């Protein structure tokens, strides 16, 4: 099993930057694909970004493309989400996710973090 612990959420100004981290632990992390989702109050949870185990395949939602960057450090079992040019529409609870299948990492991953609040003030 995989346990995910997120950090880095908080309050930032419009146009500012924030870096989220998600540390994974468990018996093994080999082969897991990682992703980020977000959910605002009253809205459905939406896909943000994903990166596969080998760091070759990377996917972004159109709403964050060009502003957010997903990366991972397999030696540290950690995935990052660098968020730049933030605006109030980015305000949401951000969740880290992990799955062994690329077909589900963008849709319904098996493992989820607890979520971290990101608030962008206008």
Q: Which of 77, 71, 97 is nearest to 27 (CA)?
A: 77
| Top-confidence residue, 112 or 29 | 112
CB 39 within 8 A of CB 58: no
Q: What is the pLDDT of residues 71-107, one digit of tens each?
A: 999 888 899 999 999 999 999 999 999 999 988 888 8
Q: With a cut of 70, say whether residue 28 has pLDDT above it.
A: no
Q: Are 112 and 89 in contact (CB under 8 A)?
A: no
Q: What are the Cα distances from residue 35, in Å, to 4, 22, 121, 122?
A: 11, 10, 25, 27
The fraction of the chain above a pLDDT of 90, given in percent, is: 79
- Predicted confidence (pLDDT) per residue in 30-50, tens digit: 789 999 999 999 999 999 999
Half-sphere exposure of 86 (CA within 13 A, CB side): 24
pLDDT at 26: 74
């Amino acid at each position: 099993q995989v346990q995910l612990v997120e950090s880095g959420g908080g309050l930032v100004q419009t146009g500012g930057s924030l870096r989220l981290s998600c540390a994974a632990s468990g018996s093994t992390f080999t082969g897991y694909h990682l992703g980020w989702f977000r959910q605002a109050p009253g809205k459905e949870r939406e896909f943000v970004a994903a990166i596969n185990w080998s760091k070759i395949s990377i996917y972004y939602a159109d709403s964050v493309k060009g502003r957010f960057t997903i990366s991972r450090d397999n030696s540290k079992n950690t995935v990052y989400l660098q968020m730049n040019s933030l605006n109030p529409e980015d305000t949401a609870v951000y969740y880290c996710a992990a799955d062994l299948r690329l077909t589900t990492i963008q849709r319904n991953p098996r493992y989820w973090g607890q979520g971290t609040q990101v608030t962008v003030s206008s």
